[in-house]
Amino acid sequence: MIPAHRQARSISQHVKHIGSDHLKRRYSTNDGMLRYKRIRSHFFMDTFQVTAKAISEHGNRYMQLFISGKGYMYVHPMKEKSEIVDAVKAFAKEIGVPTDLILDQTGEQRSKELSKVTKEMCCPLKYLKRATCHSLCFFFCVP
């Protein structure tokens, strides 16, 4: 029988890896999608602007609303409309990533940066058609 301290020395893997590349691993999947919790629900997203009298003490003039079809609501305050990407990241971090985000076709919601961030989270964006009755039907008919 081998003494424990000798056996520990023989199976230990204490090796100095200075500047070696043999420990780098390349995965075929995107592990960015694994960072967030998943929500099995559709969420609607819209940006609201407040009046000049209602600006908050922190200077927030806009708010990003995330509303589920089941009645859950999340609000993220913003100073500029361009902070929509930060709002989506905060929503994903605090609440989770929905099956898809449904939004209208305004300029800030069609940005390439927003589509890139949601693609990394594996959250598809669905855009409502402008000025059609289908946009309201879609809101009330999604389970």
> For the segment 20-30, what is each residue's pLDDT rounded down to a tens digit?
555 445 544 55
- Beta sheet of 73-78, edge-to-edge order: 73-78, 62-68, 42-49, 100-103, 125-127
- What pTM was estimated for this model as a whole? 0.69
131: which DSSP letter?
Answer: T
Q: Answer yes or no: is pLDDT of 11 > 60.
A: no
Give the model confidence (pLDDT) of 93-138 as tens digits.
999 999 999 988 888 888 999 999 999 888 899 988 776 655 555 5
Average pLDDT for residues 33-60, to the nearest whole number?
A: 86
Q: Give the per-residue pLDDT at 6.
A: 65
